[in-house]
Amino acid sequence: MLNELQKRLLNDYQRDFPLSSQPYRDIAAELGVAEAEVLTALQYLIDQGYISRVGPVIAPNRVGSSALVAMRVPPERLQQVAEWISRFPEVNHNYEREHHYNLWFVLIASDRQHLQAVLDEIEKQTAVPAMQLPMLTDYGIDLGFELDWNDGSV
């Protein structure tokens, strides 16, 4: 069960995260708690799998290089491969799709060479070819959403 601070962190900071040299101190001041409490609560949310990271969402290829990648992973290996790929800090939005290309993720790196090196390592370690999908049209999708704490599930 999540406490009120954890719920506020999940709900209130999906957007408009403080852009300052001490954002966690700013959040603590806004919420009326100590900075250490904010850091402890965020670490709990990461440790429990509620969130995978705290960081910005940057438009594709505006800073560094990015690619949408699809893989055709044998179903019996899907969980293992997905967990292994998620360990890379360059990977986000790693998810299963109902398609023969059943594992999709976004790969972000400092430049094309770094991106290709990570992709090569993923292919080498998983023995599964990766298909890079070019971005033809940029769609700005707001991934934030209001969380409903009244259903008792969290």
pTM of the predicted model, to two decimals?
A: 0.62
Nearest CA among 85, 82, 6, 90 for reference residue 41? 6
Query: What's CA 108's distance to the chain center, in Å?
Result: 11
- CA angle, 12 as apex, 10 and 18 as ends, to 5°? 105
Task: Assess contact for 143 and 124: CB atoms under 8 A.
Answer: no
- Is 65-133 a domain of CATH 3.50.50.60? no
Q: What is the pLDDT of residues 22-60, one digit of tens each?
A: 999 999 999 999 999 999 999 999 999 888 778 766 666
Average pLDDT over residues 102-119: 93
**Residue 93 Rama label (left phi>0; alpha psi -120 to 50; beta):** left
Residue with tokens 């998983």: 126
Task: Assess contact for 9 and 42: CB atoms under 8 A.
Answer: yes
Q: What is the pLDDT of residues 60-86, one digit of tens each?
A: 666 678 889 999 999 999 999 999 999
CA atoms within 13 A on the CB side of 104: 11
The predicted pLDDT at position 15 comes to 81
Sketch the domain layout of the chain as residue ranges.
Answer: 4-47, 65-133
Q: Is residue 154 over pLDDT 60?
A: no
